[in-house]
Amino acid sequence: MIKVTLKDGAVLEVEKGSSIIEIAKKISEGLARVATCGEVDGEIRDLRYEVMKDCKLNIHTFESSIEGKKAYWHTTSHIMAQAIKRIFPNVKLTIGPSIENGFYYDFDTEKTFTDEDRAKIEEEMKKIIKEDLEIEKFTLSKEEAIKFMQEKEEPYKVELIEELPEGEEISFYKQGEFTDLCAGPHLMSTGKVKAIKLLTSSGAYWRGNENNKMLQRIYGISYPKASQLEEYIQLLEEAKKRDHKKLGKELELFMIAPEGPGFPFFLPKGMVLRNILEDYWRKIHKENGYVEIKTPIILNEELWHRSGHWDHYKENMYTTKIDDVDFGIKPMNCPGGMIVYKSKMHSYKELPIRAGELGLVHRHEKSGELNGLFRVRCFTQDDAHIFCLPEQIEQEIQGVINLVDQVYSKFGFEYTIELSTRPEDSMGSDELWETAEGALAKVLKDLGKEYVLNEGDGAFYGPKIDFHIKDCLGRDWQCGTIQLDFQMPERFDLTYIGEDGEKHRPVMLHRVIFGSIERFIGIITEHFAGAFPVWLAPVQAKILPISEKHLEYTNKLKEELEKVGLRIEIDERNEKIGYKIREAQLEKVPYMLVVGDKEVENQSIGVRSRKDGDIGTMSIDKFTEKIQEEVKSYKI
């Protein structure tokens, strides 16, 4: 017998060699019915996995974890591939992973999958689910696996197997007549999948390399309950309405021109919104002891070698030549910040130095990955670099986290935290990395902040804390980050004069709050569905005169409101007032100010709210006071 310690601390004695699904049945039949995979001593395992020694076991379900969902969605991708092979036998299989929401599978085929094709595939998937085919796992040697896939005429699978290490046992999963190369984990049978929906299809290069063949990719989603699928489809429909690319065009915020793919143009109203964000950023950073700097966009190759970017990040950089010397267009602001720090000698009494920069950076993104303001080739990072004494590290990290709290609350965002540790491609000693990772973990613990450990996803120069905000549709967006860096000060030979009169090495924190101004604008546009709160709205109120005879008073009113800093437009068109109101509603203006005979006579305005409709007649002073209070309090 062996001892299995469950997630709640309970210890279960089972026979050596019991599978995870057998252990789940011992706990409860209900758990076994919904189990999707297991986690044995921190390793994700298939339900068929046999436990051979004492261990800690966590049994995942679709509802309990992302790992549980991944196994469910990965199984559904195999069901889709099986359905396609039944309908289109000559299609060649490539890969079909689970993703953040659902799954996809890439196929080599000359045809383009249409809506009608997806409907047929979906129907065949439902048949496979109804057949409740047992899913069986088996392994072959590398040589046997290559031969097996060659016989099935699956060249992409052969290519994948050939790259695996010699002597490794290679796993396959079989369901009915369909077999696929796969590491798993998978559900026990196809009947465990319930509600399915194929969403879209698109082209995708094999292995994401544009020099390879273009494949056909189909995305899908599945859930244990039809009601969950319906809820997700409704969420997608709502997301379409909130699409920042659509709203950006309708509200005249920004545009992407064919002359500059990935390089956004900000229009006048978009610039108003952008300047509000940047002014707010400057205000709160000044209050928190930051100074602002500006560094050049183009710096020479030697600098990027010194920083490590030329060796670790060059494929993402744009380069140019000036006077026959190679230069890099900056993908990050930090090397420029080093040069600013080095421009003079510093004393320990000056530290910490908190230097903020709204710095424009350029990164080479593939054309297929560009997406409105979410994925662009140039963007403005709200960077800051904090140079501090070793004993100041924790208080500075706490200060940044407090600033994150302050900023995100203004937009109504909640957030989760991820701590990312040393990646394979990194600089520096084990000792420095352990010190840096320990410092970040300690601050989070001291502040009582829960976090998820993300092993191996740190920056090449140091570990980091990432902040994931959650929008009104429940979607996560990674925005803020804090990176603790012992490497850059070393590479740039940064120093300060200590209390002992000797030179010492400062510690450096890289941090952003918005992440990127452009991307943050995209996020808040979708979060608010373009209906920005008064303090953010490019146009805070629109004056709607009922007829031309009211224009004199209307212009005077606009002048008075603009004098106190409000952003006002007039709809002077010779249209009916109902039409003007509907248009202003579509433009998502917070307030509509109706002006007719009565308002002119009483020197007042008829106020309509975007949210509440007609809220009555007000004096100009009363309306001004109301709107200024909303701006001052950052009312959401």
Task: Catalogue the active-site residues.
Answer: 334, 363, 381, 383, 385, 464, 510
Q: Which helix (H) or strand (E) holds 570?
A: strand 568-570
The Cα–Cα gap between 88 and 94 comes to 15
Place of tokens 């930051």: 290
Residue type at 398? Q
d(CA 353, CA 361): 23
In whole angstroms, give the CA distance from residue 158 to residue 527: 45
Find residue 605's DSSP bridge partners.
618
Task: Determine phi and psi for 343, rounding to 5 degrees.
Answer: -70, -15
Backbone angles phi, psi at 339, to 5 degrees: -65, -40
Contacts of 301 by beta carbon, 8 Å cutoff, 6+ apart: 310, 319, 325, 326, 327, 328
The DSSP code sequence of 335-348 is HHHHHHHHTS--BG
If DSSP codes are grouped into helix, strand and coil, which group holds residue 107? strand
Work out the angle at residue 38's Cα, subtended by the Cα atoms of residues 35 and 39, and round it to the nearest 5 degrees.
150
- Residues ≥6 apart with Cβ < 8 Å to 537: 567, 588, 589, 590
Token pair in block for residue 79: 């069901």
Rounded Cα distance between 11 and 16, Å, is 14
- Residue 270 Ramachandran class (φ > 0 left, ψ -120 to 50 alpha, else beta): alpha
**How far, CA to CA in Å, does 71 sit from each of 11, 60, 65?**
25, 9, 10
Please enumerate in sequence order all residues whose Cβ is within 8 A of that of 620, keeping only pairs 6 or more positions apart, or say none: 557, 560, 561, 603, 604, 605
Residue 611 carries which DSSP code? T
